[in-house]
């Protein structure tokens, strides 16, 4: 199976270039396995990966123009020649390894932890099954970054627009019955940039390896804001 | 900054004006399909009808507001350079206001002429 991968080592290369590799595909082979096989052929080739089963979210890459998590992408589904590039819009550190610090900065800005104002109960804070169901489709995110780096609004304003991932997380805490800082969270999202740069392009929904829907979450946040301000 | 500041307010404004624009366009298309005005007098009579006249003026106001939010969004996205963005926003705002007054002139002057 033919691959063309993006290569760039800022210490030795003047410009990035695409390098061709041939990998023998095996049954059930995932893209991560193919990248490992490429690394066997050329050990200077760099990419991030860890758990290999879609949990850690380390190996987000751009495959044939679409962001995917390499470890859960079967190579059999990919059109040859498979073109593998780093996630778009992020500074390249080396080959497929990009600098995701801005993405994580935006994640931190939504304060992704429960804020409970009342005195904490002796035991755990309980939740009804219905209240727990509201978190489904929001909590599963593994922060791979496929969504935010596929979002044109995030490409244009990565320092001001929070991006689909951070907004999905914001919604996750707004919807949580145990969180008591909804007003504060909504106030923090005010203004034309943090939330409202989203134009419902829905690239995020298309690429999410977990099948989550950040656009819907953003709509939920807007509905909450509207309710609170009318 | 209050929560209703430019983010939520602009977004809501764009959606509300979109609803009116969609409704008015459907009315216009149906009206002009089934009973197109035959001459200038018929046009004047159409605008002279209080309901049509008010709806038309409201249409111009909503179209301008809708355009303002839309163009503002495009400039926020694509023009990061602040002085340039400010200049373009000013230019667009001026052009839209000018369009508004121009439309007012087009709609109201024939009516006023007729009254006098």
Same domain, A27 and A125: no
pLDDT at A6 over 70: yes
| Statement to judge: residues A75 and A108 lie in one domain | no
pLDDT at residue A222 greater than cutoff 50: yes
Q: In the prediction, which pLDDT does B4 show?
A: 43
Residues A85 and A118 in one domain: no
CATH code at position A206: 1.10.1060.10
> Given a cut of 90, is residue A156 above it in pLDDT?
yes
> Both tokens of residue A46?
């760099």
Rounded mean pLDDT of chain B?
Answer: 90
Chain A residues whose beta carbon lies within 8 Å of the beta carbon of residue B11: 196, 222
Closest partner residue to A191 (CB to CB) among B5, B12, B80 is B5
| Domain end call among A75, A98, A121 | A98
Give a three-class secondary structure readout of chain A.
Answer: CEEEEEECCCCCCCCCEEEEEECCCCCCCEHHHHHHHHHHHCCCCCCCCCCCCCCCCCCEEEECCEEEEHHHCEHHHCCCCEEEECCCCCCEEECCEECCHHHHHHHHHCCCCCCCCCCCCCCCCCCCHHHHHCCCCCCCCCCCCCCHHHCHHHHHCCCCCCHHHHHHHHHHHHCCCCCCCHHHHHHHCCCCCCCCCCCCCCHHHHHCCCCCCHHHHHHHHHHHHHHHHC
Assess whether A90 and A137 both reside in one domain.
Answer: no
Q: What CATH number did the domain enclosing A21 receive?
A: 3.10.20.30
DSSP bridge partners of A120: none
Does A146 lie in the same domain as A53?
no
Residue A156 has its nearest CB partner, among B4, B7, B77, at B77
Confidence of residue B37 (pLDDT cuts 50, 70, 90): confident
Q: Sign of the CA dihedral A221, A227, B1, B7?
A: positive
B78 has a chain A CB within 8 A of its CB: yes
The CA distance from A149 to the nearest CA of chain B, in Å, is 16
Please check whether residue A215 is in contact with residue B30, taking contact to mean a CB–CB distance below 8 angstroms: no
**Statement to judge: residues A193 and A223 lie in one domain:** yes
Please determine, for residue B2, whether its predicted confidence score (pLDDT) is greater than 80: no
Residues A114 and A215 in one domain: yes
Q: Which residues of A touch B78 (CB under 8 A)?
A: 156
Residues A52 and A109 in one domain: no
How many residues comprise chain A? 230
8 Å CB contact of B76 and A197: yes
Joined together, the tokens standing for residue A123 give 């035991």
Is residue A123 located within the same domain as residue A134?
yes
Does B15 lie at the interface with A, CB-CB under 8 angstroms? Answer: no
Q: At B76, phi and psi to the nearest 5?
A: -60, -40
Contact A167, A185 (CB under 8 A): no
Same domain, A107 and A181: yes
Pair (A85, A181) in one structural domain: no
Say what the ipTM of the complex is. Answer: 0.82
**Can you give the residue range of the structural domain that contains A9?**
2-98
Question: What SS3 state is found at B81?
Answer: coil
Q: Which domains occur in chain B, in start order?
A: 4-115 (1.20.1300.10)
pLDDT of res. A139: 96
CA dist list (Å): A23 to A8, A37, A40, B57: 20, 7, 10, 67
- Report how far residue A143's alpha carbon sits from residue A104's, in angstroms, rounded to the nearest whole number: 9
Q: What is the pLDDT of residues A36-79, one digit of tens each?
A: 999 999 999 999 999 999 999 999 999 999 999 999 999 999 99
Show residues of chain B in contact with A153, CB under 8 Å. 77
Per-residue pLDDT tens for A173-199?
Answer: 999 999 999 999 999 999 899 999 999
pLDDT at B3: 43
Listed residues A98, A120, A152: the one ending a domain: A98
What domain count does chain A have?
Answer: 2
**Do A86 and A106 lie in a common domain?**
no
B76 has a chain A CB within 8 A of its CB: yes
Domain end marker among A98, A132, A149: A98
With helix as H, strand as E and coil as C, how does A50-105 read? Answer: CCCCCCCCCCEEEECCEEEEHHHCEHHHCCCCEEEECCCCCCEEECCEECCHHHHH
């Amino acid at each position: 199976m033919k691959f063309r991968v993006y290569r760039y080592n800022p210490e030795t290369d003047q410009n990035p270039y695409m390098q061709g590799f041939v990998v023998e595909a095996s049954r059930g082979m995932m893209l991560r396995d193919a990248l490992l096989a490429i690394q066997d052929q050329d050990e200077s080739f760099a990419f991030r990966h860890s758990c290999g089963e879609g949990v850690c979210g380390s190996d987000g890459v751009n495959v044939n123009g679409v962001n995917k998590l390499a470890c859960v992408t079967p190579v059999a589904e990919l059109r040859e020649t498979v073109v593998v590039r780093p996630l778009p819009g992020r500074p390249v550190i080396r080959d497929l390894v990009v600098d995701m610090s801005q993405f994580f900065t935006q994640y931190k800005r939504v304060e992704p932890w429960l804020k409970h104002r009342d005195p904490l109960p002796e035991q755990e804070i309980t939740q009804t099954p219905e209240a727990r169901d509201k978190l489904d489709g929001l909590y599963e995110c593994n922060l791979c970054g496929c969504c935010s780096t596929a979002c044109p609004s995030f490409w244009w304003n990565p320092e001001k627009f929070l991006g689909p991932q951070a907004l999905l997380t914001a919604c996750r805490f707004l919807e949580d019955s145990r969180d008591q800082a909804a007003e504060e969270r909504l106030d923090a999202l005010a203004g034309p940039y943090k939330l409202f740069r989203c134009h419902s392009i829905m690239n995020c929904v298309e690429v999410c390896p977990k099948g989550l829907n950040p656009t819907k979450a953003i709509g939920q946040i807007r509905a909450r804001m509207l309710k609170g301000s009318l | 900054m209050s929560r209703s500041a430019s983010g939520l307010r602009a977004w809501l404004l764009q959606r509300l004006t979109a609803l009116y624009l969609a409704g008015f366009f459907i009315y216009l298309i149906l009206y002009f399909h089934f009973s197109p005005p035959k001459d200038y007098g018929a046009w004047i009579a159409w605008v002279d009808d209080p309901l049509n006249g008010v709806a038309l003026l409201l249409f111009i106001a909503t179209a301008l507001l809708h355009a303002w939010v839309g163009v503002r969004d495009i400039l926020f996205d694509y023009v990061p350079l602040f002085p340039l963005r400010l200049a373009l926003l000013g230019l667009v705002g001026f052009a839209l206001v000018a369009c508004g007054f121009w439309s007012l002139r087009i709609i109201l002057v024939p009516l006023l002429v007729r009254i006098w």
